[in-house]
């Protein structure tokens, strides 16, 4: 009997990819903008590094907390729905069988075949069948709060480390252009990698991220220069 080959789909990466890309992009962009804002306000090299470091630490913790709370809310909702399905299966198994068969009829199966498919799937794993086909809860897409929090915090720190390192190595007079260019190059690479992993257009992904990066850094630097001129 030939060995069945299991395909690996991109949706299996959705959970960690979303958190990692969001964290790295936010870390890089927010820290670069912060550094450029302080530099444009004529802050000293030491002040720039302190502000960047504080932004890295605060941002990492904020991303972790935000992702954990958000994804945990999703997990709580999924758990509540599964508990409800479990209760309905124990009190009205026949009704749940008809409900599942009706879902398959709606997807194109003949009524008799849908009924048989529902019977076999529920005999194997009734709750799993309803979780997947009625609720849309699968192992690949299920909420994982701790994983999302750790991925967001770590990726934010890595992203924030790029402009912070660039500002630390740059002389004061070249800090703004070097941090801006380094950050934009890394943002473009991040957008391209995320697009490639997700199966989208690499060029569009890079351009999209660069556009918002340029806008955010320009606005922040402008505010910093204005504030520096006023004080």
Does the pLDDT value for residue 151 go beyond 50? yes
Q: What's the rounded Cα separation, in Å, for the pair 110 and 158?
A: 53
Does the pLDDT value for residue 231 go beyond 60? no
Under 8 Å between Cβ of 39 and 174 = no
Choose between 9 and 48: higher pLDDT.
Answer: 48
Name the average pLDDT for the chain: 81
Highest mean pLDDT among 81-85, 177-181, 197-201: 177-181
Span 25-49, average pLDDT: 92
With pLDDT > 90 as the criterion, what percentage of the chain qualifies? Answer: 30
Q: What's the rounded Cα separation, in Å, for the pair 57 and 209?
A: 23
Across 9-13, 38-42, 156-160, least confident range: 9-13
Q: What's the rounded Cα separation, in Å, for the pair 231 and 227?
A: 6
Choose between 214 and 88: higher pLDDT.
Answer: 214
Across 52-61, 93-102, 121-130, 141-150, least confident range: 141-150
Does the pLDDT value for residue 45 go beyond 80? yes
Beta carbons within 8 Å of 230's beta carbon, 6+ residues apart: none
Please write down the HEC assignment for all residues of 49-114. Answer: HHHHHHHHHHHHHHHHHHHHHHHHHHHHHHHHHHHHHHHHHHHCHHHHHHHHHHHHHHCCCCHHHH
* pLDDT band, very low/low/confident/very high, at 18 (cuts 50, 70, 90): low
Choose between 213 and 146: higher pLDDT.
Answer: 213
Whole-angstrom CA distances from 152 to 156, 158, 209 are: 6, 10, 18
Across 31-40, 90-99, 139-148, least confident range: 139-148
Chain segment 190-222, per-residue pLDDT in tens: 888 877 776 778 898 889 888 999 999 999 989
**In sequence order, what DSSP letters do the residues of the chain get, joined into one string?**
-PPPPPPPPGGGGHHHHHHHHHHHHHHHHHHHHHHHHHHHTT--HHHHHHHHHHHHHHHHHHHHHHHHHHHHHHHHHHHHHHHHHHHHHHH-HHHHHHHHHHHHHHTT--HHHHHHHHHHHHHHHHHHHHIIIII---TTTS--HHHHHHHHHHHHHHHHHHHHHHHHHS-GGGHHHHHHHHHHHHHHHHHHHHHHHHTS-HHHHHHHHHHHHHHHHHHHHHHHHHHHHH-
Instruction: Tell me the pTM.
Output: 0.69
């Amino acid at each position: 009997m030939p060995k069945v080959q299991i395909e690996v789909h991109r949706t299996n990466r959705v959970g960690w990819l979303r958190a990692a890309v969001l964290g790295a992009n936010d870390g890089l962009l927010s820290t670069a903008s912060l550094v450029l804002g302080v530099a444009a306000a004529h802050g000293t090299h030491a002040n720039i590094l302190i502000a960047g470091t504080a932004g890295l630490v605060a941002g990492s913790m904020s991303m972790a907390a935000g992702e954990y709370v958000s994804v945990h809310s999703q997990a709580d909702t999924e758990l509540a729905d599964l508990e409800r399905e479990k209760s309905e299966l124990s009190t009205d198994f026949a009704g749940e069988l008809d409900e599942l068969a009706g879902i398959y009829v709606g997807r194109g199966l003949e009524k008799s075949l849908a009924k048989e498919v529902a019977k076999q799937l529920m005999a194997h794993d009734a709750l799993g069948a309803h979780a997947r086909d009625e609720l849309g809860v699968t192992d690949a897409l299920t909420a994982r709060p701790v994983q999302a929090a750790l991925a967001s915090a770590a990726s934010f720190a890595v992203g924030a480390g790029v402009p912070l390192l660039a500002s630390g190595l740059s002389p004061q007079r070249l800090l703004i252009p070097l941090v801006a260019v380094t950050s934009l190059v890394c943002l473009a690479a991040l957008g391209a990698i995320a697009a490639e992993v997700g199966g989208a257009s690499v060029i569009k992904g890079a351009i999209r991220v660069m556009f918002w990066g340029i806008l955010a850094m320009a606005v922040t630097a402008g505010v910093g220069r204005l504030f520096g001129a006023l004080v």
